[in-house]
Each structure stands twice: as structure tokens, then as C-alpha cells.
Amino acid sequence: MNYDNILNMDDLERAARRRVPRAVFDAVAGGSDDEITVRENRRAYRDIWLRQKAFADVRTVDASTTVLGERVSMPLLLAPTGMARMADSSAESGVARAAVKAGTIFAVSSAASQPLEQIAAAAQGPLWYQLYYADRDSASAMIDRVEAAGYSALCLTIDSAVLSKRERDARNRFTIPLRMTPKLLMTGVSKPRWTKDFLLGKTGRVSQGGSGMFAARAAYRNLATVLTHSKLVTWDDLAWLRERWPGKLVIKGVMRGDECPRMIDMGVDGIVVSNHGGRQLDGSPSTISVVPEVVQAVDGRAEVYVDGGIRRGTDVLKALALGAQACFIGRPYIWGLAADGETGVSFVMSFFQSEIERGMALLGTPTIADIDRSAIGMEARPAVGVLA
């Protein structure tokens, strides 16, 4: 693929759109209901302004930091997404390899299209595992596998008790497993590379059993089971999980500060401010507007992360200035995967690494530790809560 004209994540999204059928593109790009929250996640970064420092020595810039004690090359991690096989046959293994090569961490989804052991073997580096809690028996069995495969942290998603209404998917008659309908075949004619990949699959790459199209379908079936199962999780379940899982525990899907102290008292190590990329509760505010409230409530007792709408290095710097330890991206790396497989994901990683480093130099903050609240402009028109 020619990257000369891919200058930002919107360019990459367009490249991905050309490669995959409409139904697949929409399933990734879309959100719930009116997609107000999808748009707001991104828009809210425009209400936050950066104040550069004078005379800073930025001859060398170091974007590396730590996440739960682990060194990472930049404060940007890969969020769990469950659709990788739809974008490209290298699927989660390709994403994991690219993440480790870039020196950062991928949180593998419960709805991944490859077994977690296979992804860990491909990664050869630190990974987190995202859990959709269904019941104690299945969670227990899953935790044994996650531990045996060497995942360094467990990330419990709490914003998905029920399936949301995804209207693009309904209009496209999108199904999991994806059915080769005449309509999909029609769009496939203009997307030959994706269609060939989908029909043939890759033996040994999608190893939910079988090969070729059957393997792909089996992988989608696995995904369907996870997605359609209830994912209701309670405070009691959290207490049980904290006892059951010996490693670091992160909660993903927190959108208010008042409930954070209780989570931390129960032994939670990290909190991801997330509205699922606008795919669950539409009408929830942008995640970045909630970060200050959560940071204040957490009061340094756990790490705070944020995801949703991050498309630029300067978005990451804004989140860090407001107190986040690191950010996650979802859709951008799927666009990389859809456009050019594992190489596309690596492109996204180097895009963010250089955007973050350039942003740090221009802001006058040569290390991550130099980025603090003073980097945010007081004259900025605040999103809800930002300057509260």
C-alpha cells in the first residue's frame, strides 16, 4: 500500500473503506442510536487548548512512560475490539505483533476472533485481556486460560449489560457470523482482496477449528456467542473477581467520579474512562470531559486511562495534561488492519509515536512527566466538567 497520501487517521479510514464491504465498515465506524456520543468524543478535544512553554530544551523528546509498572514506548495503548477477523485475516495476532513491535500494549477482547493463547503466542510480549463477565463458572475457566497464557492485566468491561441498538447494522442486515448474502457478494466484487480473504480464510490463522471459510465462520460464531450473551456485572461480581484474579485489575467503561473510590477500595488498579466509543449508551458525554472528575475522585490511588475519539498526538497530550496516565485507540488500528493488515497497524503505531513526540516538542515538554495541568489553557471553552 502507498502511504504517501495517508497523512492522518481520516485518510486511513478512507483507505480502509475502499477495502472492506459497506456492512463491515459501518460495523466498525458506527455507534448506537443517533451516534451523538460517537461524534462528541472527537469534537470535545476541540474545546481544549494547549499552552506551550517558552525556552524548553526539546532537543531530545522521550514519550515513554509506564502503565501499571510496565514500560511502554508512548502513552498510547490498543483498546479491545472484537471484530479483527472481519478486517483482515491476520486478525488479533497481527494487531498483537504490531503492538509489541511498537513497544506498547494491546488489550485483547473477549470477543476476539482467535483463541487468546494463539494471540499471546503471536505477540511474544505483554498483553492485557478484556473480560466480558457472564457468570462465575465461565469467568473462572477464562481466568485460568488468561493466567496460563501470561496476560499481565485483566480489564473488565462494565458498560455492556445489554446489546445497544446499532442502526447501521440493522440497515445493512449485518449478522454475526457474517453471511455471504447476494448483497455482500455484490459489494465483494469491488473489494476483491477482502472477498478472497473472507472466502478462503487462512488455515492455521483462524484456529477456532476447521479451515477456510468454515474457520472464518466458526470464528464469527464464537464472536456471536460472546456478543449475544448477557454481560451484566454487579459489585458482588467485582468482589468475587478481585479474589479470583491475582494480577492487576482494570475497570473499563467508567463515566463518573463518584463510584471510583469504592472500586479502588475493592482493589482495582486502573480505570478506563470509556463510553465504548459511543457504541453503548448514546447521549453519554465525551470521555475527555469526564477525565478531570475521575482523576479528582481517584486522587492518585489508581491509574486513569481514557479512550474514545483519539485521532491525534495532541489529543493524547490533552488527556495527559488533564491527568490521564495513558490513552487507548480503537477504530484507528482497525482501519490500519483493514487497509493493510499487520503493516497497517504498525503504520498507526508509528503515526501516533511521531505525532506525540512532535506535539511534546512543540508544547515544550520533553518528557511525559513535564506534561501537567498547566498545559491546558484557562481561556479554553470548556467541555462539560473540564474546568469544574
Binding of residue 80 to ligand FMN (CB under 6 A): yes
Contact indicator for 330, 291 with CB cutoff of 8 Å: no
Binding of residue 252 to ligand FMN (CB under 6 A): yes
Binding of residue 331 to ligand FMN (CB under 6 A): yes
* Strand-pair category, 303-307 with 70-72: unpaired
Q: How far apart are CA 39 and CA 355, in angstroms?
A: 22
Give the DSSP H or E segment for 319: helix 313-321
**Residues 90-109 contacting ligand FMN, CB under 6 A:** 109
User: Is the C-alpha dihedral spanning 357, 359, 362, 366 positive or negative?
Assistant: negative
Binding of residue 318 to ligand FMN (CB under 6 A): no
Query: Going residue by residue from 361 to 380, which x/- string records binding to ligand FMN, judged by CB under 6 A?
Result: --------------------
Query: Going residue by residue from 141 to 160, which x/- string records binding to ligand FMN, judged by CB under 6 A?
Result: ----------------x---
Binding of residue 118 to ligand FMN (CB under 6 A): no
CB atoms < 10 A from the CB of 250, how many?
24
Q: How far is CA 273 from the centre of its chain?
A: 12
Binding of residue 307 to ligand FMN (CB under 6 A): yes
Instruction: Give the residue with the Cβ less far from ligand FMN, 93 or 157.
Output: 157
Give one DSSP letter per residue of 65-82, joined into a string: EEETTEEESSSEEEPP-S
Q: Is 229 a catalytic residue?
A: no
Instruction: Give the residue with the Cβ less far from ligand FMN, 280 or 346.
Output: 280
CB of 334 to ligand FMN, least distance (A): 6
CB of 256 to ligand FMN, least distance (A): 16
Binding window for ligand FMN (CB under 6 A); candidates: 13-21, 73-81, 193-201, 372-380: 73-81
Q: Is 227 helix (H, G, I), strand (E, B) or coil?
A: helix
Contact indicator for 257, 296 with CB cutoff of 8 Å: yes
Q: Judge if the upstream peptide bond of residue 177 is cis by omega within 30 degrees of 0.
A: yes
Instruction: Give the residue with the Cβ less far from ligand FMN, 58 or 288.
Output: 288
Binding window for ligand FMN (CB under 6 A); candidates: 50-58, 212-220, 242-250, 272-280: 272-280
Binding of residue 37 to ligand FMN (CB under 6 A): no
Q: How far apart are CA 339 and CA 325, in angstroms?
A: 30
- Beta-carbon contacts of 190 under 8 Å, excluding residues fewer than 6 positions away, are none
Binding of residue 223 to ligand FMN (CB under 6 A): no
Residues that bind ligand FMN (rule: CB under 6 A) add up to a total of 25
Q: Which residue is nearest to ligand FMN (CB)?
A: 330
Q: Of the listed 22, 85, 276, 312, which one is catalytic?
A: 276
Number of helical H runs and strand E runs in the chain: 16, 10
Instruction: Give the residue with the Cβ less far from ligand FMN, 308 or 323.
Output: 308
Q: Is 103 helix (H, G, I), strand (E, B) or coil?
A: coil
CB of 211 to ligand FMN, least distance (A): 25
The C-alpha cell at 291 is 477525565
Positions of E strands within 171-275: 248-254, 270-273
Binding of residue 336 to ligand FMN (CB under 6 A): no
Considering only residues 21, 82, 188, 385, which one is a binding residue for ligand FMN as defined by CB under 6 A? 82
Considering only residues 125, 257, 309, 336, which one is a binding residue for ligand FMN as defined by CB under 6 A? 309
DSSP 8-state secondary structure symbol assigned to residue 62 = B
* Strand-pair category, 127-131 with 106-108: parallel
CB of 86 to ligand FMN, least distance (A): 8
- Helix axis angle, 192-200 relative to 182-189, nearest 10°? 130
Rounded (5°) CA angle 349-354-358: 150
Instruction: Give the residue with the Cβ less far from ligand FMN, 81 or 284.
Output: 81
Binding of residue 130 to ligand FMN (CB under 6 A): yes
Question: Catalytic residue positions?
Answer: 276
**Residue numbers of the site for ligand FMN (CB under 6 A)?**
28, 41, 79-83, 109-111, 130, 157, 252, 274, 276-277, 279, 307-310, 329-331, 334
